[in-house]
Amino acid sequence: MSEQAPGFQLQHGTGDVITLQLSGDWLQGQETADFTELRTELARTGASTLIADGATLGEWDSLLMAFLLQCHDFCSEEGIEFSTREMPESAQRLLAVATAVPPQKPAKEAPAPWFKSIHPVQILHDLIDDLRESLAFVGEITLAAARLVAGKANTRFTDFRTFVYQAGPDAFAIISLTSVLVGMILAYLGAVQLQQFGAEIYVADLVVIGMLREMGVLMTAVVMAGRTGAAYAAQLGTMQTNEEIDAIVTMGISPVEFLVMPRMLALVVVMPLLTIYADLLGMIGGGIVAGGMGITPLQYIKESQNAISLTHISVGLIKSVVFALLIAVAGCRSGINSGRSSAAVGQAATEAVVTAIVYLIIADAGINILFQQVGI
Amino acid sequence: MMADARTVHIEVSDLTMAYGTFVIQQDLSFNVYHGDIFVIMGGSGCGKSTLLKHMLGLLEPASGDILYSGQSFINASAAEREAMRRRWGITYQAGGLLSAMTLAENITLPLQLYTDYSERERDSIVAYKLALVGLAGYQDYYPSEISGGMRKRAALARAIALDPDILFFDEPSAGLDPISSRLLDELIVQLQESTGATVVMVTHELASIFDIATNSVYLDASTRTMIDYGDPRVLRDHSEQAVVRQFLSRSSATGQEDSP
């Protein structure tokens, strides 16, 4: 059967009754007439009753129903009586279902234009709110830590072991790669300058001090922020979406004790170890570059030994613990405060990484200034 | 017992479902006829949802076949399966609406992918589908902004976007209050009657089963196969299997079903 293009015609009957003669096949893939044409036509004639007639109608699907619904809505707006008595029975029934619940006009506010959202007072307000929230979260963590020390916290140590494994051994490969390369970069940076004075041997000192005090721990922290911090935010965000966190709260368990503490402790335990590992590999990376400049491995090791001191190592380790806390706080806070949709979980993970890196840089600068002042 | 004059729409033949070597259900053979509201029932953990997932092609059977209108789905190529799936509408237990999209965008998605409607026609069809499920005017809402019952109905609107021949439901009334659940049942019946689609649903809501089902299959967890098949109202009173009578009359397993 060949398909006929769908269409309609308006026929004036007795009085101000108008018949809407529908014809052709109203099927997907057919070009249909625009409803706005009918609207203007009807408005012009000023009818009081509109009768939809399907006598010459061919096959039809949702396309026809969507059209009829528009007619129905238009007629009820204009106070025109709309009759579908002449339509196929199934179409009448579908329209009855579709119109059973009158269209809601729920108050859905249109989002304000973006430039309106930039309001200095509001931004300051948000910032203060954010800071207060952060402090409250840190406070909760402190309380949870106190309860943990007192042995009263609901912290599961099986979780802790899993998190240690995920944060530590699982991260070896990426930490190895970044550390070796950073060690080499440090060596190259120094080599260019030191060669001018014939002081290539001091590349070893530069790499040792640079890695131990600064680059080893900072690079590890950045990698962990992207790896573990984001993972924490995604895990907790998904738990928020699945109402798991609600369940934990209503069971009378503090989510900070149950979810945040094991993650944070795992990171605090693992970060110093990873930092030492990164330092070591960084020095090896520096050694490779030094070897290329004619320094023998023995010379490099001997000079490194002179440069290494417990102070330098401690500075790196202190930083690593601080950074671990910051990454865990940023990750867990974003996750717990996440919205309940897949988009919100993604946002939480992004937020976790961004805040963690900002925290890291600020803390690193602060610690360096502090140590400089005390002369460490 | 069955009105065999009707034509078979879905045929499940000798289906065995297993996770590895663990058999969940075996030797399942039953027919779903055109225009049926077919219920897959059984106790918790018997494999109802697993059966549905096999019928949808989300899981592969260990053996056996599922035929849609006489065409094998299990042996079909990926492209053929895609073509068959396009004739189906599916609502998942939690709705399965994409949370990053508004209701209108959710319903528009299949229309955009599989039809050549113009944007104007798409908008009018979205408005019609939302009106059908009683959500007219909710186009710009996100799934997270509406209630659970409304999400279920919105998911139904998306499932019927392409005028499917078969509608699949996984626990349509799970988590709904009795009134919403009843309204949803009525909606399913109305849609079925006016579109002539075949409905396959997994549920253990007795009220739903007796209100709307025209045919059903009972999966048993202990024997790991179907132990009865037919109109649930008939099974309740006349099933030869005590378990099925107990299930359908909500009596306990201690022989109460024999008391008058």
A340 contacts in chain B (CB < 8 Å)? 144
Taking only residues 8 to 37 of chain A, the set having a beta carbon closer than 8 angstroms to any beta carbon of chain B reads 28-29, 32, 34-35
pLDDT at A117: 67
Angle between helix A310-336 and helix A120-149 axes, rounded to 10 deg = 110
Taking only residues 198 to 217 of chain B, the set having a beta carbon closer than 8 angstroms to any beta carbon of chain A reads none
pLDDT at B114: 83
Alpha carbon of B154: minimum distance to chain A alpha carbons (Å): 13
Q: Does A97 touch chain B (CB under 8 A)?
A: yes
> Hey, are the CB atoms on A104 and B137 less than 8 Å from each other?
yes
Burial of B86 (0-12, 13-18, 19+ CB in 10 A): middle
Q: From the list B116, B131, B141, which residue is nearest A103 (CB)?
A: B131
What superfamily in CATH does domain A7-98 come from?
STAS domain (3.30.750.24)
State which H helix or E strand residue A204 sits in.
Answer: helix A203-209
Task: Please give the ipTM for the structure prediction.
Answer: 0.74
Among B113, B64, B88, B83, residue whose Cα is nearest residue B9:
B88
Burial A133-147 (b: 16+ CB within 10 A, else e): eeeebeebbeebbeb
- How many interface pairs between A and B have CB atoms less than 8 angstroms apart? 82
Strand-pairing partners, residue B22, are B19
pLDDT digits over A40-59, tens only? 877 777 778 888 888 888 88
State which H helix or E strand residue A72 sits in.
Answer: helix A62-78
Q: Does A101 touch chain B (CB under 8 A)?
A: yes
pLDDT band at B256 (very low <50, low <70, confident <90, very high): very low
More confident residue, A143 or A158: A143
pLDDT digits over B136-155, tens only? 889 999 888 888 888 888 99
pLDDT band at B258 (very low <50, low <70, confident <90, very high): very low
> Closest residue of B to A89, CA-based?
B194
In CATH, the number for domain B7-87+204-251 is: 3.40.50.300
Q: From the list A103, A106, A342, which residue is nearest B99 (CB)?
A: A342
For residue B171, how many C-alpha atoms fall within 13 Å in the half-sphere facing its CB? 16
* Amino acid type, B43: G
Distance CA B218, CA B39 (A): 9
Mean pLDDT of all residues in A69-84: 86
Mean pLDDT of all residues in A218-235: 96
User: In this structure, are residues B215 and B230 in contact, taking their beta carbons and an 8 Å threshold?
Assistant: yes
> Terminus-to-terminus CA distance in chain A, angstroms?
92
Which phi-psi region, left, alpha or beta, contains residue A46 (left: φ > 0; alpha: ψ -120 to 50)? left
Q: Does B100 touch chain A (CB under 8 A)?
A: yes
Alpha carbon of B249: minimum distance to chain A alpha carbons (Å): 32
High-pLDDT (> 70) share of chain A, %:
96
For residue B167, how many C-alpha atoms fall within 13 Å in the half-sphere facing its CB? 28
Residues in chain A, total:
376
High-pLDDT (> 90) share of chain A, %:
51
User: In this structure, are residues B225 and B254 in contact, taking their beta carbons and an 8 Å threshold?
Assistant: no
Q: Where in chain A is the domain with CATH 3.30.750.24?
A: 7-98
pLDDT band at A107 (very low <50, low <70, confident <90, very high): low
pLDDT digits over B46-89, tens only? 888 899 989 988 889 999 999 999 999 999 998 898 888 888 98
Q: Does B96 touch chain A (CB under 8 A)?
A: no
> Hey, are the CB atoms on B124 and A90 less than 8 Å from each other?
no
pLDDT band at B182 (very low <50, low <70, confident <90, very high): confident
Alpha carbon of B173: minimum distance to chain A alpha carbons (Å): 19
Res. B21: pLDDT tops 70: yes
- Give the domain ranges of chain B: 7-87+204-251
A86 — phi, psi (to 5°)? -90, 10
Mean pLDDT of all residues in A246-253: 82
pLDDT band at A153 (very low <50, low <70, confident <90, very high): confident
Q: What is the pTM of this model?
A: 0.70
